Amino acid sequence: MLDFFTIFSKGGIVLWCFQGTGVTESFTGPVNALIRSVILQERSGNNSYSHDALSLKYKLDNEFELVFVVGFQKILTLTYVDKFIDDVQLHFRDRYKNELEQKGALALLNSHFAFEDDFKMLLREAEESSKARGPTSMRSFNASLKSQKTVKSMIETKGGDKGKEQGGKKNKNAKKEGKEKAAEGRTAHNNLLKWSDWNGIRHIEITYLMYLILFPSTPAAEPVKGEKAKAPTSAQKTEENGNQGLTQEEIIQKKREEFIRKRMGAPVEKPSKSPKPVKEKPKGKEKRVWTLGGSSTKELDYSQSNGNGAHAAGDQGLDAQADPGDLLAVDYDVLFKMFLSPKKGAFGGMFGMLKGLVGSKSLSQEDMEPVLDKMRDHLIAKNVAAEIASQLCDSVAKKLEGKVMGTFTTVASTVKGALQDSLVQILQPKRRVDILRDVLEARSQRRPFVITFCGVNGVGKSTNLAKISFWLIENGFTVLIAACDTFRAGAVEQLRTHQRRLNSLHPPQDHGGRPIVQLYEKGYGKDAAGIAMEAIAYARNQAFDVVLVDTAGRMQDNTPLMTALAKLIAVNMPDLVLFVGEALVGNEAVDQLVKFNQALADHSMSDKPRLIDGIVLTKFDTIDDKVGAAISMTYITGQPIVFVGTGQTYNDLRSLNARAVVGALMKA
């Protein structure tokens, strides 16, 4: 059933692998994809991942730096996989403890892990246990709780004839099933699989509901209703569960009533035959039975004995103590509790603190919980989106679980270190980011390099476009600005002003008589995608190096505008799609990026849609050290931050320094 199972070290060496029968393709590809998209992008909180037709589940062993990955077909739903991985992990660790404990990779390289037989045995056990667990046998009626209740307790007391009627119906059921006494009238549940009884019970359920709506319910009705709702579901295993039955009851009720009316003729005399349940007053609320309580008040009378009574009552939980004197019993109790639960006792607390400082202690979830909560709050205070912060903390917890800490390192320092590493890892670009090199490449291929700017309203697209064009012309490239913002008033004029200023800074005389920046515009109200296409064609004819396409700002949930943007990008296929986001944004960043990516993916015709390739983080000078927006944006898209805007003049354009941002983020 499993396609493959691998055990490999975090350093990359595969220690043992298993390939299922009939599986020919290698698993290296899917496992690499799992590593790159989940583990390295800090999404380890959720431990399953799907790649093509395969579903992969994995488990990290942080003490010995191993990764366990199992793969199976996505269409199969195997219930035993999670427990199976845990079992395999424990088994493997125990068996190869010696080799794994040695530092250095030589032990891993030289030893041969013959795990086949153990694995097959574990797999067999897991499969059998899942099969055995499949059809759960129903409890016999006598074993269920329902048999403990009397019929009287289930009968409604308010409204005499209603009660009689219900009692009658219950009796009808009882007589139908068995010849037992009234107390066993609950054997209605014995033959739940019979459609007629199911029918009858459901009718009772419906009538109960009606009754409850009309009259305030008694406590006895609630559990009964719940029980009845549960019993049919477990019995029937059809799509009609209790909820559905309740909602469709109006529709079915008429049919049911007809059917019942047919059967009503027979059991009408029944009430006379077994009057006991009807005549007896319903018990109402049953007395609660306390397990240690005893049944009579005589036991509570300690006036006679010298403490023997106290012993009898108090020492029920403890086996040992037989000495008289209740003072000793109390002391023993306290000490006993302290030894049993050292964490809560005074001694345990002291030892725990010392143990935490010295010696090797492996991290568990409870140890990390308070520290992670604090870190999560700290991240949220630094403007990281809330769900990103919690996902990050979960991922760090997964990475550190079971790890053995060195001496004199506290839990807090380990967690902080791991979190810092994860943050730096997220901010590092996953591909090469060198715009100038790519522009040179495009120039050698005699085509312009097209950059498109998109984003919501007011984030600084036009300003940063001007800054980027300044940087490009400083490095000797010719730039064409395409004014595809045909909506906002003054957008074209703004770009024209920038063009004039840039040209005055770098006069055409220096560049062979040709203006280094030109503006391609067609006024207002025209189709943006068409203008972009014409601009790119013009740039190709005139041998411009770079085309910067400015688009109108749009809200992410404005569907027609998102469609228009997606069309612009799909039709023109720019080399770089930059999302411009401001650093002040908080949780909104997640929503913006997700919806922009979604729109771009949905409206593109090809099967490899152009998504957001990079992020421009603007207004960075307005935030002091609340730099969390950088983390949110890179985490959501996985794309690097290409530019950082730090002001409103042409020189205020920077690149991102991951270490500095993470330092500012982790600062207290």
Partner 1 sequence: MATEPGINMEAKIDARENPFEPYLDALKKVLEDQDPIFMIGIVVSLAVVVITVVFLKYLLSRKTVQSAVLLVGLCDSGKTLLFSRLLSGKFKKTQTSITDSSAPYKAKNERGSSWILIDLPGHDSLRPQYVEKFKSAARAMVFVVDSAIFQKEVRDVAEFLYFLLTDSVVSRNVPSLIVACNKQDITMAKSAKLIRQQLEKEMNTLRVTRSAALSAQDGSAGASVHLGKKGKDFEFSQLPMKVEFLECSARGSKGEDGEADIASLEKSLALL
Four-CA torsion 541, 546, 550, 556, nearest 10 degrees: 120
Q: Is 300 exposed, middle or buried (0-12, 13-18, 19+ CB in 10 A)?
A: exposed
- Closest C-alpha to 460, from 657, 644, 658: 644
Q: Which listed range, 251-259, 291-299, 305-313, 656-664, lies at the site for partner 1 (CB under 8 A)?
A: 656-664
12 binds partner 1 (CB under 8 A): yes
Q: Does 116 bind partner 1 (CB under 8 A)?
A: no
Q: Does 646 bind partner 1 (CB under 8 A)?
A: yes
C-alpha closest to that of 546 among 513, 520, 584: 520
DSSP annotation of 435? H
Q: Does 655 bind partner 1 (CB under 8 A)?
A: yes
Q: For partner 1, give the closer residue by CB, 17 or 183.
A: 17
176 closest CA partner among 140, 200, 202: 200
35 part of the interface to partner 1, by CB under 8 A: yes
Region binding partner 1 by CB under 8 A among candidate stretches 278-286, 541-549, 569-577, 641-649: 641-649
Residue span binding partner 1 (CB under 8 A) among the ranges 6-14, 272-280, 327-335, 370-378: 6-14
Site for partner 1 contains 37 (CB under 8 A): no
C-alpha R_g of the chain: 37
> C-beta of 417: minimal distance to partner 1 in Å?
12
Out of 2, 31, 174, 418, the only residue in the binding site for partner 1 (CB under 8 A) is 31
Q: Smallest gap, in angstroms, from Cβ of residue 477 to partner 1?
A: 10
Please give the DSSP secondary-structure letter assigned to residue 76: -
Q: Would you state the structure tokens that stand for residue 59, as one six-digit string?
A: 């488990």
How many CB atoms neighbour CB 486 within 10 A? Answer: 19
Q: Does 565 bind partner 1 (CB under 8 A)?
A: no
Minimum CB distance to partner 1, residue 20 (Å): 16
Within 13 Å, how many C-alpha atoms sit on residue 625's CB side? 11
Three-state SS for 451-486 is: EEEECCCCCCHHHHHHHHHHHHHHCCCCEEEEEECC
Q: Rounded to whole angstroms, what are the CA distances from 473 to 394, 480, 502, 542?
A: 45, 11, 9, 16
Question: What is the smallest separation between the CB atom of 106 and partner 1, expressed in angstroms?
Answer: 5
Nearer to partner 1, 379 or 423 (CB): 423
Which is closer to partner 1, CB of 430 or CB of 506?
430
- Please say whether the beta carbons of 551 and 453 come within 8 A: yes
Q: Smaller CB distance to partner 1: residue 35 or 375?
A: 35
Return d(Cα 124, Cα 126) in angstroms, integer. 5
Check binding of 105 to partner 1 (CB under 8 A).
yes
* 99 lies in the binding site for partner 1 (CB under 8 A): no
Task: State which of residues 2, 3, 18, 39 lies at the interface with partner 1 (CB under 8 A).
Answer: 39
What span, in angstroms and rounded, lies between the C-alpha atoms of 13 and 28? Answer: 12
Number of residues that bind partner 1 (CB under 8 A): 52
Residue from 128, 180, 331, 441 touching partner 1 (CB under 8 A): that is: 441
* Contacting residues toward partner 1, per CB under 8 A: 6, 8-14, 17, 28, 31-32, 35-36, 39-40, 65, 67, 104-106, 109-110, 421, 424-426, 428-432, 434, 436-437, 440-441, 471, 474-475, 620, 643-644, 646, 653-658, 660-661
